[in-house]
Each structure stands twice: as structure tokens, then as C-alpha cells.
Amino acid sequence: MIKAGIIGGAGYTAGELIRILLNHPDAEIDFVYSTSQPGKAVSTIHQDLAGETDLKFTDAINKEADVVFLCLGHGNSKKFLSENQFSDNTKIVDLSTDFRMSGDHEFVYGLPEFNKKEIQSAKNIANPGCFATAISLAILPLAKTGKLKDDWHVNAVTGATGAGTSLSETTHFTWRDNNFSSYKSFGHQHLNEIGQSLKKLQPSYEGEVNFIPNRGNFSRGIHATAYTKYEGSLEEASEIYSEVYKDAVFTHLVDGELHLKQVVNTNKCLLKLEKFDNKILVTSIIDNLLKGASGQAVQNMNIMFGFEESAGLKLKANYF
Amino acid sequence: MIKAGIIGGAGYTAGELIRILLNHPDAEIDFVYSTSQPGKAVSTIHQDLAGETDLKFTDAINKEADVVFLCLGHGNSKKFLSENQFSDNTKIVDLSTDFRMSGDHEFVYGLPEFNKKEIQSAKNIANPGCFATAISLAILPLAKTGKLKDDWHVNAVTGATGAGTSLSETTHFTWRDNNFSSYKSFGHQHLNEIGQSLKKLQPSYEGEVNFIPNRGNFSRGIHATAYTKYEGSLEEASEIYSEVYKDAVFTHLVDGELHLKQVVNTNKCLLKLEKFDNKILVTSIIDNLLKGASGQAVQNMNIMFGFEESAGLKLKANYF
Amino acid sequence: MIKAGIIGGAGYTAGELIRILLNHPDAEIDFVYSTSQPGKAVSTIHQDLAGETDLKFTDAINKEADVVFLCLGHGNSKKFLSENQFSDNTKIVDLSTDFRMSGDHEFVYGLPEFNKKEIQSAKNIANPGCFATAISLAILPLAKTGKLKDDWHVNAVTGATGAGTSLSETTHFTWRDNNFSSYKSFGHQHLNEIGQSLKKLQPSYEGEVNFIPNRGNFSRGIHATAYTKYEGSLEEASEIYSEVYKDAVFTHLVDGELHLKQVVNTNKCLLKLEKFDNKILVTSIIDNLLKGASGQAVQNMNIMFGFEESAGLKLKANYF
Amino acid sequence: MIKAGIIGGAGYTAGELIRILLNHPDAEIDFVYSTSQPGKAVSTIHQDLAGETDLKFTDAINKEADVVFLCLGHGNSKKFLSENQFSDNTKIVDLSTDFRMSGDHEFVYGLPEFNKKEIQSAKNIANPGCFATAISLAILPLAKTGKLKDDWHVNAVTGATGAGTSLSETTHFTWRDNNFSSYKSFGHQHLNEIGQSLKKLQPSYEGEVNFIPNRGNFSRGIHATAYTKYEGSLEEASEIYSEVYKDAVFTHLVDGELHLKQVVNTNKCLLKLEKFDNKILVTSIIDNLLKGASGQAVQNMNIMFGFEESAGLKLKANYF
């Protein structure tokens, strides 16, 4: 049993980590750090845990924890690590954007379908963004085989948990219920990490990823469609994707219809390929809080520590 | 054309008043008073009005307006009227709780189905609460005929607009979506005005109104069920309700199934009567922002000024 | 008062027509034809009408009606008109796809923003499709000025009423609630009428309209984003759109944020323009049952009969 | 590993059983019987299972299975068992109403909180109804201590999965979305099993359970409020409930606010006690498909076979 710490314990991704780790066969929660709630029972904030745990938030950190998850706002992970030191053996999984772009740091980009080997030996992980995960898993296989030539056109919709726990107009129920809207068109911050992965896999690629994000009136999940010009056949594309994901535990190609609730409350990514004239369309669905955040964080932990990759992540879909 | 002023123009009920009055055949909006938004276009807050009006919020009040609607938080209407004076001819319609209980003031309780005559000659109106409207219309007919003997058991569910525009945990989309909860059991503030109406109609009645309010995961509407012991037949009860509501423009007894969306975005109250052994069950549905607030406020205005009672209120249901 | 007949009275679009026409100042409902429900009160099917009308479905048709709305399944309008004859003065508004493509018939495509003159003198109207309306109003202004050069990339989401009243898996609540999915990618039937309008306005245009439709978990409304390469400035584009829509009663350009509920339960189309590098993005929102069907049908009737264009269509938005 | 069979595999409860049993440490799915889908992959119907299992529906039954779950429509379990025989060692868990009332059969009513000993030695289990579970867990503790004197007033709301997979008007998305309605007032079929449990625990009790069920616009879950006259203190009541549920694995008393999503996608029942004058109010929440059906069925299996009671049921809440 390894000991896990969670920093920033009151948000959505911390809650999901706690839910997963409480039932993990190889890890146990050592501490949940929250400067705003120290001493309070974790189940007063994550109220579904009533009856399941006596865990309390703490403002004390165990520097000897085996793994520490940073569930802090973007920009705050760097700051936190500059102010707090962990033992040399402590592995860090950061869920913010702070270390996703390569640079002067030791963090490996934690997209297991493409970086598994580096993750196995990583000390620290930069956990991918939610949109970045859904879109990267949709478009990277063609880059891996050097097949990309043209721009991608991506449209994706996310649930309200994507906006975090703070109250805002666009997460007010009376606004969001039965509503739909787009935002940050062509400028979403996750385009950086997607572009970095594309360049790494196919350095010659000069196309653009045109991405329009949308706010859906549901709480969990991302549904993304991505199309580009592609000269090969559907069969050829299917072979490429099947090959790329043949050992993937959570990412699968499906033949039938795709709809978001197939993956809600699971760590899966389901993909569907279609060909229309000279275009290939890839549809990709994930749960933004699991495969798009805390689930993938635990998957990365499992890989780093040599546990079964799906340990603690055999989650029952909500489905309805 | 009478001139109408709206005080507290940024909230839900003010928005609904503006929507109604913009198309009212006999009234026009003279000013929308808002201390927080003066100079701003009304359509920047009530964004569905884009393309329909150039109206701006103002912090100046026209003391000669024919009618003024107070859309202020509970407790603030009294304060506002003590600090601002209107002409002797100005009629006030207050949407808060401040003047609903009889006392040392000139406000008539504005439930047209029971107080029409007093409303016709009223100077000021205390507009009923939303739950109070739905429940009163369900239970008062039996009190009017002196038939009540036993306690009422009332359960009602309201949409998120019932909680007002301020952001709170229970109106956060991620909390409210697909959720359900009860609150203020046996202690909701609207019980006072309901009790007052019961006593006025059947002074001998000593029963209790046991009321559990609930938060539903929808934005608009109230669905209430109310039952009590009743010895008469269903036919007798139907005759009583039909007689009481025979001239009601918006309140109707129906035979078929009742479901909330029949009245959403209308000023109607639909009622259904059923008899089970020695109990009578009355189901009542309204739109909390219309018959439960701004629609009824305009209905009261229409009655006070001698307009057609449904003027401006022939609203198309949303239904879906 | 003209007399209006409705054929196929039990569906969503017929229900909306009835709701609108019951309060129309210049038209009255003469008959609602339904072979499945003759003799039944209209309010047993369109249950929000309880207390508002005693209208009954009939299987008899008045051949002398001034206007007849066909609310039949696609393919059935042609069949119905071949089996039923109306007077020479009767104007037909067909809501199906049957007459939208030019051909050997007398139907004018009823998109008032572009075809008003032809509509004024039309005998019969082919009412545009819902997606076609939202998308055409977004993209046609650039075609009108001959500015289009490149492909359009369109993504739109529709509510469950778009799928009609028949029960199906994807309109089952347990499936659709909190779900999202795409369908008919690159092959939606409305592309035909959009293409026809583009060609008519800019015959030289050879680009494609790449369109991915989606099913949203709401009941009403269409939200569409459309982008293409465009060399002009945002100001230039704004001038073009403003000029094209300067006399439009229901179609408006807005500056602020757009979100679907601004138009739900209204006959409006709101448009927003944005420029990103060499791309112009147009966001367009309508209510699929109103501007996308029955509202536009009444708008066309108003134009044909010389009524105020907004008669009966000054609808209060639901907004919440 | 015991071998489990599922009869009637295409419905909601069968889907939930499959989801649970796929990850159960002590049981494996031997067959999923479906006369309508033999040979088809289970994941074509329960589409969230894509990538998780190759299981196929079959029309062949293994008579030697250790446990068989009957997920058949009410009335069909009796018929099925009269036409199909299992080995003497096969235990049956029936999810229908067929064997819930005591009679000429060998089924034990499977409410573990009250019947654990009988379940341990049972051959067959009649799994309780969903409303019956939520309400029984709320009201039975007072009966167990002989404290009940007066009528119960119960109001509960259920999600759309409670109505089963068949398409119907009230589960059509356009009807149910943002809607609310009551049905079967005072006459729901689950009152029988609730009454039977009350009589068994407090034979002297003559009160009525007045129960109004409601349809909520969500997919999963039951929220129930139940109140009755009660002379004791809140502390006394809390002690009674705590004592009754002290060994319960899934049923817990909580102090804070209760809201439905605390239990959705879990096997838990959370209860809250409040006292108002002479009334005690008990609020009870469960997931209708888990603690109200398939989760409790597996809990009963665990108890019968001597497994850890929570085996396979440590489910991550969906929560959002």
C-alpha cells in the first residue's frame, strides 16, 4: 500500500481522486490538504462520502508520501512546489496546466496511450487537460503514422464540472439548464499541449487545429468531433487506430453509435471513425473528471508504481 | 396607456415584468430602476430582449408613474417606500413579503380569485408568494364553503428561479442538475399568508397546513399536492371548486393528467381533484415567476386599472 | 380575420401553430385536421391549452380556408395535395421538405430575410427546415455580397423536439438526459436547401458546407457555429450583415455573448460575428419549432396577407 | 467464484447486474438469457460496456448456475419458474413483485437491514421494490420498537429509469425534461410489501401509509420524505435508528443536508431525522436501480453465499 496525498482537496478533481483512492487496492489516502477546510470531515464537502470515510482535511503535509496529487488552480502548482518540498522518493502528479509544456522541469506529459514508457520511469507527471485528452486521443494516431496533411476541424462540448467549483453565471442552474453556448473559439488553452503532441509525433505537420469549445447542459463529460482531409480508406484508418490502441486499457474503437453517457463515470475513451468523401471524422468521448483528470491521474500513478494499470479504475458507468 | 415603473430591475421577477409589459396593450414601461446598473441597456441583463428594446436601467424615479412594481428583496420594500415617495395617484404592487400580512398599512392581498373586489378599488397590492399562490388556490375553496375540518398535508416542488438570481450552492448547475432535495420543512415563510387566508374564509378552522417544500431540477414552475380528510363526494367537491373559479380567467379545473409543463411560461393555475377513501387530493400547478409573481402582479394591475384581466397575459406556453 | 386550417394537427409544429394562432389578431383557426384524433378536444393532445380553447380535431376539411398549414411528415404533403383540393384563393404553407427544392411546382421558399418580395406575392410557401434556417441566416449574407470563397465548417445542436413526436431510443428520457451525440454527419437533408440558396445568391460559389448535426439534451432550440476563410475585416462583415438584416423583424446581430435560451420560445434569430486570423465565425441561434418551423410559417402567412410581419409573434421568451 | 445467470437481460436492472458482476471478486457471469437478443453482444444493448466484455446474450440456460437473477416483468417470474427448472442448489433472486408477499412459496423478503438472518439461510429471495426500500428503511425502525401510533404521510419522487425501458409518453424526453407530475396516489403497488413489513414488526399498528409517488426529471434515484406523529425526542429517535442500523453496511444516518445525488450510482441509503413539534420527519434517498433493485440483489447474493456484504458494491458515486 502506497501512501497518497492530495493537495487542494475541496475541488471536483480532488473529490474524484478521493472517491477512487478509497477503493484502490494498492494505495491509501494519507492526507487531504486544504487550507480552507482543515479539521473538517471530507464528507462535509464531498457529501456522497457520508458513511464511507472518517477522513478529515488537514493543513499538514506528509513530506514522505509516496505520491502527491496537486489539484490546484492553474499557476498555483508551481507556486506550491516552490514553497513546499517533498522527499526525493515522492512522485508528483500535477493536474494543472503548469508543467504540460516541455521546458525546464522534470515533468512527463501523462498521456499513457502515447507516453507509457516515459511515464513508467517518470518522477513527476503533468496530467493532460480534459479537452486535450479527448482531442489528442482522436487525432494523434494519424500524426504517429505521419499521415496528417491538412487542418483539423474540432468541435467539442463539455459539462459544467469543467468550469470548476466556483460559482459563476454560466454555471448557475437557471442559466445552464436547457442551454447551449460556445466560448474561447480558436483560442482554448489546451491547444498548446495538443500542438506539442502533434509536433512530437509528426514534426513536419504544419496544419492548424481549429477548435470550438461549447458548454453543454450536463455535468460530466466531453463529446468531441474532429475531421480532416484524409486520402486513405476507412479500413486503413481503422487499422492505424487499432494498432496504436491495441494495448490501451481504457481507449477503444467502437463500431456502433457513440453517445456521451457510454463513458460517464468511467475512465474510458471511446472512439469512432467514419469516412465521408475525402474526409475522416473521429468522434471521441470521455468523462472530463476521470479520463480527463483524476482517473487519468490514478492511471499514471498505477503505471509509475507498476500496479495493474486499471487498479482502482474498474468503475461502474452511471449510464442513465 | 398607463406608465409603469419597475424598482429593482435586475432580478428574475423584474425581467418577467419587462417581458410582459413590453407587449402590454394598455401599459408602457416608464422606467426600470436599478442602483447597480444605471445607464446599462436592459438587454445586457435580460439578454433574451436583444433586438426588442432599447430600454436602459436608470437610477431616477418618476414619482408620477401610474403604477410601480417593487421587485426588491424581502424587507426592502418597506425600506424603499419609507425613503421614496410617489404621487397620491400612483398605485404600488409589491412583490415581496413585506405587506402580505394584514396590519397597519394600505395593501390589499392580491389573490384575484378570492379578493377581486378589494383589488379593484385598491391603492396598493401585496402580491402573493409563489408557493402561497399554488397552495392557496388548491385549498381555499373548501375553506370558503366552511368544509375544512382536518389538517392539510402539502408537498410542493419549485424550480431554481424560486431561489433568486444570487449564486448559491443549491443553484449551482453541478449540484442541482438531476438532483432533488427538501428544505424548510414545516416552516416555510409562505405558511403565514396561507394561514391568514384560511382564517379569513373559515374562521373556525383549527387545522394545520403541514408543508414540505422541495427543490426540483428545473428552472420554472411549482407542482403541489395537497390532501386532507373530506367527507363529501368528488362530485360535490368539483362543484365547489367550479363555482369558486367560474369567473377565474387563469385558474381552471381539469379532468385529465396534470403535469407541470402545462403551465410553464403562462399565467395559469391548473387544478385537479381526486378522492381516495375519506381523503381529497388537490394537485395544483403554476409558473412560479408568472402566476406566482410577475404575471399575477400584472393581473392585479389590470384589475386595478379596469383593463381586460388577461391583457398582456395571453402567453404562449413553452410546453417542451 | 382570415380563416386558417391546420393539416396533421397532433404533432409539435401543429401544436405551436395552434398556440400562436389562438392569439393572432388577424387570423383564426378554422379547423385542425387529424385523421387519428377526430372529435377529440385539441387540449387532450396539446395539454397546455387546457382552459384556453374548446377547439376539437376534425376529419373534415374546409376547402375555402384562406390559408392551410401542412404539418405532415416529409413526403406526405405532396400526397395530401394530390388527394385534396383547396379553392383557388387558398394559400398553402407547407412545413415539410416536399417543395423546398425548386422544380415543377408553385411553392416559394419561405425565408423572409432573403425572399420577402416573392413571398408577398406567393400563392404557396415551402417553409424552410429548422437547421436550414439557422445555418442559412448565418452564412447567406456573405454569399449575397459574393464574398464566399472557401468551405464552411458548421456544427449545430438541436433539441429533442427536432426529432418529432414519435417515440424512439434517442428521445427516451433515460437516454437523452445529460447525453450528447452527433448524427447524419456531412449528410443532413437540409444541406440541399442551403446549397440551393447559396447558389442562387452567389452562383460562382463552389465551396462545400461541412455540417455535423448533434443531439442536445434539451427540448427546444438550435445553436449553430459556422466558420469559413474570410479576408475582410470584422467591421466590413458587420456592415454586410447589418445591411442584409436592416429590415428583418426577427433576425438581429448582437455584440455580447450568445446562448441558446435567449431565443427559446420566440421567433427570433440572433447572430454573432467574430474574426480569428483569416477566419470568420458566425454563431446563430433559433427556436427550432418557431423560427425553425411554425413561427416562420406564421411570419410567411403575415407577409402573404399583408399583416404586420410580427402579428401574433411577439412572444415572451421562456428564458429560464 | 460462483456462477451467476441473469434472466431477462435487456432491461435496466439486468444491465446494472451485469455492470456490478463484471467486477465482482467472488462471482462471475455464466449467462445472460434473452429471448429477444440471443447471439448479440451484450454491449450492443448496454452500450457503456463497449471495450469491457465480449459477453453475448443467449437463449440457453445453465440449470446448474449457483445463483440466478430474474429480471422479468411483474407476473413473469412465476411463469418463468413454472416453465424452467434449476438445480436444487441454485439460489434464485427475483426482482419482480411476484414473491414479495408471504404465501405458498419459499422466497424470503430480501431487505437485509431487517431480515439478514433469514437471508443468510434462504434458498430464494424476493428482492424489494425501489419505493418500498426507500420508504421501509425510513419508517420501519419506529415499528421495530413499537413506537408507531399514527398515519404516515409519504411523498417520494423517482427517476425515469423507474418506468423501465419501454418507450412511453411520460418517459419521452420532450415530455419529461423540466417536468414534474404525480401518479398512482394512495394506490402504489409497493404499499403492500411496506404494510407487510410494518405488521410483522409492530402487529398492533393500525395506521395508514399515505403515499404520493412523483415522476422527477432525472434518470436515477428516489427521494422520499415521510412524517408521522411522534412523541419522543429527536435524540431518542436518533438512538433508535442508530441502533437498528448499527451493523448496516449501506444504510446510514446523516446530520447534514440530504440531497439525492449523494447516493446516485451507489448502493447506499442515507437517512435524515428531524423533529417538528409533535412530528418526526424522515428523509430517505437511494438509487432506485441499485439499493432499489440490482445493488440490493447482489447484496442479498453476498449474504446468502457468505461473501463480504459489500463485495462488488463499493461503487464510486457519480455525484455530479
Tens digit of each residue's pLDDT, chain D (320 residues): 999 999 999 999 999 999 999 999 999 999 999 998 899 999 999 999 999 999 999 999 999 999 999 999 989 999 999 999 999 999 999 999 999 999 999 999 999 999 999 999 999 999 999 999 999 999 999 999 998 999 999 999 999 999 999 989 999 999 999 999 999 999 999 999 999 999 999 999 999 999 999 999 999 999 999 999 999 999 999 999 999 999 999 999 999 989 999 999 999 999 999 999 999 999 999 999 999 999 999 999 999 999 999 999 999 999 99
Q: From the CA atom positions of chain C, what is the Rg in Å?
A: 19
Are the C-beta atoms of residues A128 and A111 closer than 8 Å to each other?
yes
Report the CATH number that the domain containing residue B90 is assigned in CATH. 3.40.50.720
Q: How far apart are CA A178 and CA A175, in angstroms?
A: 8
C91-94/C67-70 β-pairing: parallel
Claim: this prediction has a pTM higher than 0.90: yes
Q: How far apart are CA D249 and CA D251, in angstroms?
A: 6
Chains in contact with B via at least 3 Cβ–Cβ pairs below 8 Å: A, C, D
SS3 B138: helix
SS3 C274: strand
SS3 B122: coil
Using the beta-carbon criterion (under 8 Å), do D219 and B178 form an inter-chain contact?
yes
Q: Is residue C158 within 8 angstroms of chain D, CB to CB? A: no
Smallest CA–CA separation between C149 and chain B, in Å?
30
Mutate to test the interface with D, among B174, B176, B182 (most CBs of D within 10 A): B182
Terminal-to-terminal C-alpha distance of chain D: 34
Identify the pLDDT of residue B315. 98
Q: Which of B89, B134, B109 lies closest to B250 in space, CA to CA?
A: B134
Residues of C in contact with B261 (CB under 8 A): 48
Catalytic residue from among A68, A130, A132, A303: A130
B107-109/B124-126 β-pairing: parallel
Identify the pLDDT of residue A312. 98
Mutate to test the interface with A, among B174, B179, B181, B218 (most CBs of A within 10 A): B174
Chains in contact with D via at least 3 Cβ–Cβ pairs below 8 Å: A, B, C
Q: Is residue D221 within 8 angstroms of chain B, CB to CB? A: yes
Instruction: Just list the catalytic residues of C.
Output: 130
Cβ–Cβ contacts within 10 Å for residue D310, how many? 14
Are residues C137 and C283 located together in one domain of the fold? yes
Q: Which of D256, C217, D244 lies closest to B173 in space, CA to CA?
A: C217
Joined grid coordinates for residue A262: 457510454
Identify the pLDDT of residue A290. 98
Name the DSSP class of A186. T
Q: Is residue B313 part of a domain?
A: no
Task: Write out pLDDT tens, residues A170-197.
Answer: 999 999 999 999 999 999 999 999 999 9
Residue B227: pLDDT band (50, 70, 90) is very high
Task: Write out pLDDT tens, residues C182-207.
Answer: 999 999 999 999 999 999 999 999 99
Q: Which of residues 177-206 of A touch C (CB under 8 A)?
A: 177-182, 185-187
Q: Is residue A299 within 8 angstroms of chain B, CB to CB? A: no
Q: Which residues pair with C251 in a beta bridge?
A: C269
Q: How far apart are CA B161 and CA B286, in angstroms?
A: 13
Are residues D55 and D173 located together in one domain of the fold? no
B209: Cβ–Cβ under 8 A, 6 or more apart, which residues?
A: B135, B139, B151, B152, B154, B191, B194, B195, B198
Smallest CA–CA separation between B177 and chain A, in Å?
7
Residue A144 CA from chain centroid, whole number:
20
Q: How far apart are CA C200 and CA D308, in angstroms?
A: 72
Q: Is residue B319 part of a domain?
A: no
Q: Could you tell me the maximum CA-CA distance found in chain C, to the nearest angstrom?
A: 61
Q: Using alpha carbons only, what angle is made at residue A152 by residues A151 and A157, rounded to the nearest 5 degrees? A: 150
Q: Considering only alpha carbons, which residue of chain B is nearest residue D170?
A: B259
Residues of A in contact with B173 (CB under 8 A): 160, 171-173, 175-177, 217, 219
Burial class (CB in 10 A: 0-12, 13-18, 19+), D76: middle
Report the CATH number that the domain containing residue D184 is assigned in CATH. 3.30.360.10
Kindly provide the b/e burial profile for residues B172-193, where b requires at least 16 CB atoms within 10 angstroms of the residue's own CB.
bbbbbbbbbbbeebbebebbeb
Are the C-beta atoms of residues A191 and A101 closer than 8 Å to each other?
no
Cβ–Cβ contacts within 10 Å for residue B67, how many? 25
Residues of C in contact with A179 (CB under 8 A): 218, 259-261
Q: Is residue C315 part of a domain?
A: no
Task: Write out pLDDT tens, residues C215-266.
Answer: 999 999 999 999 999 999 999 999 999 999 999 999 999 999 999 999 999 9
Residue A130 falls in the annotated catalytic set: yes
Are the C-beta atoms of residues D193 and D101 closer than 8 Å to each other?
yes
Q: Is residue C289 within 8 angstroms of chain B, CB to CB? A: yes
Residue type, D240: I
Using the beta-carbon criterion (under 8 Å), do B172 and A174 form an inter-chain contact?
no
Q: Considering only alpha carbons, which residue of chain D is nearest residue A312?
A: D316
Q: Is residue D23 part of a domain?
A: yes
Q: Which of B165, B265, B173 lies closest to C319 in space, CA to CA?
A: B265
Are residues D122 and D41 located together in one domain of the fold? yes
Are residues C278 and C152 located together in one domain of the fold? yes
Identify the pLDDT of residue A32. 98
Are residues D121 and D194 located together in one domain of the fold? no
Backbone angles phi, psi at C194, to 5 degrees: -65, -45
Using the beta-carbon criterion (under 8 Å), do C319 and B46 form an inter-chain contact?
yes
B70: Cβ–Cβ under 8 A, 6 or more apart, which residues?
A: B7, B8, B77, B80, B81, B92, B93, B94, B95, B96
Identify the pLDDT of residue D231. 94
Are residues C80 and C178 located together in one domain of the fold? no
Task: Mark the ranges of chain A whose per-residue pLDDT is less than 70.
Answer: none
Using the beta-carbon criterion (under 8 Å), do D179 and B218 form an inter-chain contact?
yes
Domain that residue D63 falls in: 2-127+291-305
CA atoms within 13 A of residue B246's CA, in its CB half-sphere: 6
Find the helix packing angle between D295-305 and D112-120, rounded to 10°.
Answer: 40
Smallest CA–CA separation between A267 and chain C, in Å?
17
Please, what is the average pLDDT of chain A?
97
Are the C-beta atoms of residues B40 and B57 closer than 8 Å to each other?
yes
Q: How far apart are CA C42 and CA C57, in angstroms?
A: 6
Q: Which residues pair with B108 in a beta bridge?
A: B125
Q: Considering only alpha carbons, which residue of chain B is nearest residue A47?
A: B175
Q: Which of A146, A96, A92, A82 lies closest to A122 in space, CA to CA?
A: A92
Q: Is residue D24 within 8 angstroms of chain A, CB to CB? A: no
Q: How far apart are CA B295 and CA B220, in angstroms?
A: 13
pLDDT in tens, chain C (320 residues): 999 999 999 999 999 999 999 999 999 999 999 998 899 999 999 999 999 999 999 999 999 999 999 999 989 999 999 999 999 999 999 999 999 999 999 999 999 999 999 999 999 999 999 999 999 999 999 999 998 999 999 999 999 999 999 999 999 999 999 999 999 999 999 999 999 999 999 999 999 999 999 999 999 999 999 999 999 999 999 999 999 999 999 999 999 999 999 999 999 999 999 999 999 999 999 999 999 999 999 999 999 999 999 999 999 999 99
Identify the pLDDT of residue D28. 98
Q: How far apart are CA C30 and CA C15, in angstroms?
A: 15
Q: Is residue C68 part of a domain?
A: yes
Residue C60 CA from chain centroid, whole number:
27
Joined grid coordinates for residue D306: 457468505
Q: Is residue A40 part of a domain?
A: yes
Are the C-beta atoms of residues A263 and A285 closer than 8 Å to each other?
yes
Q: Is residue A320 within 8 angstroms of chain B, CB to CB? A: no
Q: Is residue C318 part of a domain?
A: no
Q: How far apart are CA A307 and CA A313, in angstroms?
A: 12
Are residues A161 and A264 located together in one domain of the fold? yes
Identify the pLDDT of residue D300. 98
Q: How far apart are CA B182 and CA C173, in angstroms?
A: 24
Identify the pLDDT of residue C245. 98
Are residues C247 and C123 located together in one domain of the fold? no
Q: Which of residues 97-116 of D touch A (CB under 8 A)?
A: none
Q: Is residue D241 within 8 angstroms of chain A, CB to CB? A: no
Are residues C136 and C84 located together in one domain of the fold? no
For chain B, the domain total comes to 2
Catalytic residue from among D4, D6, D67, D130: D130
Residue type, D173: F
Are residues B110 and B143 located together in one domain of the fold? no
Using the beta-carbon criterion (under 8 Å), do B161 and A177 form an inter-chain contact?
no
Instruction: Give all strands (DSSP E) within C190-242, no chain letters.
Output: 209-215, 222-229
Are residues C140 and C233 located together in one domain of the fold? yes
Q: What number of residues does chain A have?
A: 320
Question: Does this complex have an ipTM over 0.95?
Answer: yes
Using the beta-carbon criterion (under 8 Å), do A263 and D161 form an inter-chain contact?
no
Q: Considering only alpha carbons, which residue of chain A is nearest residue D289?
A: A320
Are residues D170 and D86 located together in one domain of the fold? no
Identify the pLDDT of residue A153. 98
Q: Is residue A90 part of a domain?
A: yes
